[in-house]
């Protein structure tokens, strides 16, 4: 250790005097930076561990340090050294007892123990302890895979006659048994072998026990056998268990040091050490330094406690300054985005409009709800942005992260938001609010739990489910009604990307049109095509001028897809609409239709639906009448005699409740399967459809 001379002491006294004044001037700022004022340390706190001096805010005993700055003093080959302690948790003891009522054994095993993230069961400081007259097993691993198993058995002589040989303190198979575990486990549970029990010696010891606990805290006593509940009743049936921890933003030190921003060993005098109990790492101070390697100036030399306090204070000042600078920069940027996207204009419009039922969310609310846009929250990605599942104020919502919007169009965008927030249609996803404090706007919608029409059609194509003709026509009618409503608004909303993936389905298979609002596209000419191949109107591709007719064409493609079960583009890149037109012309439509929905009873309905689909892609003027006719066809008598059976797809249950509540359909029976016909029957149906 370096010695400090008189001149050094005088200089330190002057420095300390300046430091105390500076600290008094900045005391409030420091307390704000750390969050709250900690209690003062006790007067009898230890100030050293071996030759290492420790000063507040660090400490060893309770009440001698700030939260998170607790240290432990351990004996090492180099003498006493300070360490961050392992965590200790209370663990429930599992018991296996004789029941005098049932004359059998009762297993009171605890539930599986799951450790929080970054913690593991210590394989060096824990032992699996088992009492006598039983065989117990321990299974350990992680949440998905209990890959490790071990057993331990202990006996106390036949029927308890050898109890005189038991000695306090020893645990070697007689009286009790202990076993080690391997490293890297985050969960465990215990089990007892029912073939070994105490039913024969219940008058000596009616209970046994098993538990994973800190080995140094267990000392066997003969009374644990003679009075079988004594150990189980210790501390209310709980014992301490040691839990190791490690920083887990990387699997090892080499990987951790690649990402400077997330690297935990931030002290200049710190060193990274790979975790000994699995993936991850911990930080230590380098030789000649001690205290906390996880702080910017946490590892300090052994010169004097004054320097420790000074560096600690300066460290907090640097962190506070950086935090304030970053916070101010973020606030400026947030305000710039808000103005850029027309936030002030939107506020003024909302005042004029009155109560529009629309919420302006703060940036922090969106970041918290999406866990900073964690990929695990993504539920969909469309042509205009990414959708996240989130929870705001206890309500599950869908947050859509739009792509950038042309600043010159912000007036149109704001007007569209004001109009959309007033849309209240059963087949349109409700827009709840927005956040304009990001680089691109965030739109907040009601959350629709189940799948999309695209996914439902994929399941149908793979024959994983059966979707009736009535259900298909009803979904088409609801979607058409939603599009017509958007087109009829005072400031018409032209969708531009109508496709099954943008039609959500509720639990009752009700269609809800989604994925609008991020774009303010209207009749103006576009510089690039918008939409999805196969659903795009050829007329739109000529001039990129979007109209209501283009949305209707795309809807017609969806109706054809519902009737045929085929994709809009074949492997040969031949469009479904062209194949449909050919089939309608040459009378071969029956070959193109989905056989699951074709039978003699619904032939009239299918023919009319096919005509409506053809008119939707050819004649926009027929759209209004087509919507009404689709609704009538969906609930026609010949269609309703085949109700939609419940669907369970990928863990989500659809319970479509059709108007007709008949419990069976020909699709469900074993003797007849809808869609299976002879060649003669197909020929007859083809002739009928061609009329």
What is the residue whose two structure tokens read 């000419």?
A: 525
Q: Cα–Cα distances in Å, from 421 out to 10, 345, 365, 424, 428? A: 71, 15, 20, 8, 11
Q: Is residue 166 within 8 Å of residue 222, measured between CB atoms?
A: yes
- Classify residue 585 by its DSSP letter: H
Q: How many CA atoms lie within 13 A of 249 on its CB side?
A: 10
Nearest-5° Cα angle at 178, 176 to 180: 175
Q: Are 359 and 444 in contact (CB under 8 A)?
A: yes
CA-CA distance, 308 to 300, in Å (whole number)?
Answer: 6
Residue of 244, 497, 551, 594 with catalytic role: 497
Query: How would DSSP label each residue in 211-225?
Result: EEEEGGG----THHH
Task: Return the DSSP state at 59.
Answer: B
> CB within 8 A of 30, min separation 6: which ones?
23, 313, 316, 317, 320
Length of the chain in terms of residues written: 691
- Does residue 537 contact residue 546 with C-beta atoms inside 8 Å? no
What DSSP character marks residue 312?
Answer: H
Residues 222 and 167: beta-carbon distance below 8 Å = yes
> What is the CB neighbour count within 10 angstroms for residue 644?
24
CA neighbours within 13 Å on the CB side: how many for 251?
0
Tell me the β-bridge partners of 395.
392
Backbone angle region of 371, left / alpha / beta, with phi > 0 → left and psi within -120 to 50 → alpha: left
What is residue 691's three-state secondary structure?
A: coil
CA torsion sign for 30, 31, 32, 36 is positive
To which H or E segment does residue 306 belong? helix 305-340
Distance CA 629, CA 617 (A): 16
Residue tagged 């990605």 (tokens): 381
Number of H helices, E strands in the chain: 18, 30
The pairing of strands 72-76 and 104-108 is: unpaired
Nearest 10 degrees: Cα torsion 318, 321, 322, 324: 160
Q: Which H helix or E strand runs over 379? A: strand 378-381
Instruction: Tell me, rounded to whole angstroms, the distance of Cα 401 from its chain centroid.
Output: 17
Mention every residue, 6+ apart, whose C-beta is less than 8 A from residue 452: 380, 500, 501, 502, 503, 504, 505
Maximal CA-CA distance, the chain: 114
Annotated catalytic, 497? yes
- Residue 568 CA to residue 344 CA, distance in Å, equals 43
Beta bridge partners of 389: 398
Tokens standing for residue 410: 């912000």
Check if the beta carbon of residue 240 is closer than 8 Å to that of residue 89. yes
> In angstroms, rounded to a whole number, what is the distance separating the alpha carbons of residues 384 and 235?
59
Query: In 3D, which of 505, 482, 509 has the Cα closest to residue 495?
Result: 482
Q: Just list the catalytic residues.
A: 497
């Amino acid at each position: 250790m370096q010695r400090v001379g008189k001149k050094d002491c005088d200089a330190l006294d002057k420095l300390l005097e300046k430091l105390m004044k500076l600290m008094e001037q900045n005391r409030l700022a420091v307390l704000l930076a750390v969050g709250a004022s900690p209690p003062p340390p006790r007067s009898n706190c230890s100030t050293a561990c071996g030759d290492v001096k420790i000063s507040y805010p660090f400490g060893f005993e309770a009440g001698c340090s700030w939260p998170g700055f607790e240290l432990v003093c351990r004996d090492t080959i180099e003498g006493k050294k300070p360490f961050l302690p392992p965590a200790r948790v209370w663990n429930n003891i599992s018991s296996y007892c004789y029941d005098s009522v049932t004359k059998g054994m009762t297993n009171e095993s605890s539930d599986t123990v799951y450790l929080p993230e970054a913690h593991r069961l210590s394989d060096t400081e824990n032992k699996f302890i088992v009492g006598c007259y039983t065989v117990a097993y321990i299974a350990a691993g992680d949440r998905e895979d209990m890959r490790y198993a071990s057993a331990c058995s202990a006996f106390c002589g036949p029927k308890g006659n050898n109890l005189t040989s038991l000695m306090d303190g020893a645990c070697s198979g007689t009286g009790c048994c202990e076993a080690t575990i391997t490293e890297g486990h985050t969960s465990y549970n215990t089990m007892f072998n029912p073939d070994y029990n105490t039913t024969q010696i219940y008058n000596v010891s009616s209970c046994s026990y098993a538990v994973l606990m800190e080995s140094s805290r267990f000392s066997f006593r003969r009374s644990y056998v003679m009075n079988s509940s004594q150990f189980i009743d210790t501390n209310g049936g709980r014992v301490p268990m040691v839990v190791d921890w490690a920083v887990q933003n990387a699997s090892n030190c080499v990987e951790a040091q690649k990402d400077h921003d997330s690297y935990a060993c931030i002290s200049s005098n710190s060193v990274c050490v790979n975790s000994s109990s699995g993936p991850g790492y911990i930080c230590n101070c380098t030789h000649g330094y001690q205290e906390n390697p996880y702080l910017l100036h946490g590892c300090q030399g052994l010169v004097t406690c004054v320097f420790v306090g000074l560096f600690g204070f300066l460290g907090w000042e640097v962190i506070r300054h950086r935090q304030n600078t970053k916070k101010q920069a973020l606030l400026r940027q947030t305000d710039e985005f808000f103005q850029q996207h027309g936030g002030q204009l939107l506020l003024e419009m909302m005042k004029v409009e009155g109560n529009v039922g629309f919420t302006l969310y703060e940036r922090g609310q969106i970041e918290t709800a999406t866990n900073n846009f964690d990929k695990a929250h993504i539920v969909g990605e469309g042509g205009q942005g990414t959708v996240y599942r989130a929870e705001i104020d206890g309500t599950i919502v869908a947050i859509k992260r739009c792509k950038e919007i042309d600043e010159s169009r912000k007036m149109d965008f704001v007007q569209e938001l004001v109009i959309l927030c007033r849309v209240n249609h059963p087949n349109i996803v409700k827009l709840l609010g927005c956040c304009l404090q990001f680089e691109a706007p965030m739109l907040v919608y009601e959350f629709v739990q189940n799948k999309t029409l695209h996914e439902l059609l994929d399941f149908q194509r793979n024959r994983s489910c059966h979707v009736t003709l009535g259900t298909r026509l009803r979904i088409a009618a609801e979607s058409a009604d939603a599009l017509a409503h958007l087109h009829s608004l005072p400031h018409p909303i032209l969708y531009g990307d109508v496709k099954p993936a943008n039609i959500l389905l509720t639990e009752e298979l009700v269609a809800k049109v989604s994925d609008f609002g991020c774009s303010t596209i209207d009749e103006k000419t576009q510089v690039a095509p918008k939409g999805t191949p196969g659903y795009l109107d050829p007329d739109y591709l000529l001039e990129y001028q979007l109209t209501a007719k283009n949305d209707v064409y795309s809807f017609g493609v969806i109706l054809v897809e519902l009737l045929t079960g085929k994709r809009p583009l074949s492997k040969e890149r031949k469009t479904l609409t062209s194949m449909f037109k050919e089939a309608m012309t040459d009378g071969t439509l029956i070959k193109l239709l989905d056989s699951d929905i074709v039978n003699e009873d619904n032939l009239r309905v299918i023919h009319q639906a096919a005509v409506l689909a053809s008119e939707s892609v050819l004649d926009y003027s027929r759209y209004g009448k087509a919507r009404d006719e689709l609704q009538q066809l969906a609930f026609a008598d010949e269609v309703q005699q085949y109700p939609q059976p419940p669907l369970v797809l990928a863990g989500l249950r659809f319970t479509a409740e059709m108007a007709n509540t008949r419990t069976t359909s020909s699709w469900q029976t074993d003797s007849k399967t809808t869609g299976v016909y002879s060649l003669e029957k197909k020929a007859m149906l083809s002739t009928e459809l061609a009329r």
